[in-house]
Structure 1
Amino acid sequence: MPVEMVCNAFDISRSSYYEYRQRRNHIDIERLVLKAQVNRLFTKSRSSAGSRTIKGMLSEEGVVIGRFKVRRLMSELGLICKQPGPHAYKQATLERPDIPTIWPVNLQ
């Protein structure tokens, strides 16, 4: 199928199509370095850091990056932060009549 027919069908210019094909073959090294840093910090936080926290950690290391770019990188890496939930206390389901209740002796 000719490129011109496909471009007309999707209402895009041919130059956009060729630019996309060229960009697809290009490897962005800076983005790969950022992904590695985000992954390292996420692992260091034991999967609990979100995009805001990682952005702060990167800023401390001298990397200038926005929160939404960190969020996009985390999404591309498949990183989802997990915050620990509240502790669930176990309710006693059975009463234990065999264990005596000891009441304090009234000393007067």
Structure 2
Amino acid sequence: MNVSIPLSGMNAAQARLDVAANNIANLSTDNFTRKEVVQADLPGGGTRVADIKSAAQAGSNLEADMVEQLQARNTYMTNLSVFKSNNDMLMGTIIDINA
């Protein structure tokens, strides 16, 4: 497995978490426009942040940003688990080769 696939997922999840946190931090900032992360698939697997755009509706949306943070966290943790599993399998293969 290509380790760049779960790594790209972790990077995209981190960007989503950062944007949602920034939106929450600026709830009471005058004229602040929420941002949203747009992701795109990578050829061969994985994802990337294609754009960070202004939200379609003006104003704050605390509920959406809280849900986004939870989803981003879960996505990050899932990709981290895949990354660790791949690493464990690789280490097992190296040990078998050296044995």
Identify whether the pair has TM-score above 0.5, normalized to the shorter chain.
no
Higher relative contact order (CA 8 A, sep 6+): 2
TM value normalised by structure 1: 0.24
Greater share of helix: 2
TM value normalised by structure 2: 0.26
Greater share of strand: 2
Larger Rg: 1
